Amino acid sequence: MTTLPVLPVPALSTLGVLLLAFCGWRWWAERRAGARPLARSWLWRAGLVALVVTAAFRPGIPGAGTTQNATADLDVFFVVDTTASVVAEDYGGAAGGNRPRLDGMRQDVGRLVAALPGASFSLLTFDSSALIRLPLTGDATAVTTAMEVLRPEVTTYSRGSSVTIAAPLLTQQLERARAAHPERARVVFYFGDGEQTDGLSPVPFTVPSGAVDGGAVLGYGTAAGGRMKANEGYIAGERADYVQDRSVDPPVDAVSRIDENRLRTIAGQLGVPYTHRAAGDPIENALTATDPGRLAAQAGSIAGRYELYWILAAAAAGIVARELYLLGADVLRLSSLGRRARSSRGPEVSDATR
């Protein structure tokens, strides 16, 4: 027998134990008070709790042939750099270019979403801190829309960033996804330029063993680098000065350069390949770098199973129907007693009559 819990096992187990303990306590209290019918009712409720919690584990037995476990069984995590360097104007093809790197990231996220129909997607971003912009969702449009409105951090408040600052948040999300749906494959696409600006050596980008089934680190930018327009929080179009390098006198436009060695290191720590991205590169290059050998076992045919939760749910529905019937009977009985009590008092006499 196999299970596919709808919630993490510790949460389901804890909830079940607490509810059963409450039902047991109420049964004992009613029994000691001599209210045996009420005590029996709490036994029925304990049975209802046991059935619902067991059904939530989604028990099943192998069989029913095979089913196709395609891209719909993928959880895809996009980890996107939103530091000031993502607007460095060196994203282009072989002939060069002066488009912001963020343009390339937006295009590639859209292409990956289109290439993985039916998957669930999550968007995480990082600059001086890491944020969940979009939790796991099957709404592909929500992902592309979130990328379209994505903007880099406000330059005025920038205090430097680490290329691995998103590791703890990504680890948390991967663990939650694995606990909720252990049968699904999880892939990570990291988008960045590898530029470390907080003055410290980046800590390793570590994730739990077995939490990542594939993905890729996608690098943007050039060795020559590009200038960055400042984001000072004004309305788009009002101001577009370039970030200044004030380490020299007079200040000059700062230049951001890709650090591919650092990106390769992150790729190695995640256990996924690294690929450099330029305008015009086919998205298949990034998909090829998703460790297809490991995903093949996840994306092929898997053994089917006979679901048993519906049997438990039907039994639980029977107990609920019994409770509703008894509740209705009590309401009718109380209503009848109320009518009898009013009729036994006779007609009311007003002060005027007296």
pLDDT digits (tens, 9 = 90+) for 32-81: 888 888 888 889 999 999 999 998 888 888 765 444 444 557 899 999 99
Q: Where are the domains of the chain?
A: 2-66+306-343, 71-299
Peptide bond into 5 cis (omega under 30): no
Instruction: Give residue 192's pLDDT.
Output: 94
Overall average pLDDT of the 195-207 stretch: 85
Average pLDDT of the chain, as a whole number: 82
CB atoms within 10 A of CB 79: 26
Confidence band of 354 (pLDDT split at 50, 70, 90): very low
Instruction: Give residue 68's pLDDT.
Output: 47
Burial call 146-181: b when 16+ CB within 10 Å, e when fewer: bbeebebbebeebeebbbbbbbebbbebbeebbebb
pLDDT digits (tens, 9 = 90+) for 225-276: 888 887 765 544 445 588 776 767 787 788 889 999 999 999 999 999 999 9
CATH number of 71-299: 3.40.50.410
pTM of the complete model: 0.61
Instruction: Give residue 228's pLDDT.
Output: 84
CB atoms within 10 A of CB 288: 13
Distance CA 323, CA 318 (A): 9
Please state, for a pLDDT cut of 70, what percent of the chain lies above it: 82
Please state, for a pLDDT cut of 90, what percent of the chain lies above it: 36
Confidence band of 293 (pLDDT split at 50, 70, 90): very low
